[in-house]
Amino acid sequence: MIKNRIFVYGTLMEGFRNYNKYLKGHVLGHEKSYVYGKLYHLKNKNCPALVDGNDIVYGEIMTFTDDENGSILKTMDSMEEYFEDQDEVMYLRNNIKVYHMNGKSEMLPAYIFINTKMLNERESEYIKLGDWRKYISEMGTSHQVNKTEAV
């Protein structure tokens, strides 16, 4: 087994649907953290999109176990690359500078949204707070996974 680390800011955070699907049972720990960028909510996909920018965007550094082939990371890559109804690449995993809450930083992978044509008023909403968890909570929408939901 190997140990992987990744910055997540949306559905891969603890308590959300893709955490339960891909990371649950493999996480050794998670730590609040942030990056610089710009954050959007993709309305029809119920997920956030991180792009280049100067805002603070909050998320978590996930430390998890994986096999020697990186199977969990590869499976997450496949999930992030395409939406079911799209044949264009949506997210790519790139190394970015991630800041711990104490101000220290390190380079870690994160999924960056590259299909910027979806960042329009009809399909997305800019998240001024830079925090998707708070955005979801304030919108009163239920994107978190409840205990009985099948994933």
Q: Is the separation of the CB atoms in 119 and 37 below 8 Å? A: no
Looking up tokens 């998320």, which residue turns up?
59
Architecture of 2-139 per CATH?
A: Roll (3.10)
Domain boundaries, the chain: 2-139
pLDDT tens digits, one per residue of 111-149: 999 988 889 889 999 999 999 999 999 887 544 443 333
Contact 64, 27 (CB under 8 A): yes
Tell me if 130 sits within 8 A of 56, measured CB to CB: yes
Which bin fits 145, alpha (ψ -120 to 50), beta or left (φ > 0)? beta
Residue 67 clears pLDDT 60, i.e. is over it: yes
In the chain, which residue ranges form alpha helices assigned H by DSSP? 17-18, 71-81, 132-139
Which range among 56-60, 81-85, 135-139 shows the weakest confidence by mean pLDDT?
81-85
User: CA 131, 40, 17, 65 torsion: positive or negative?
Assistant: negative
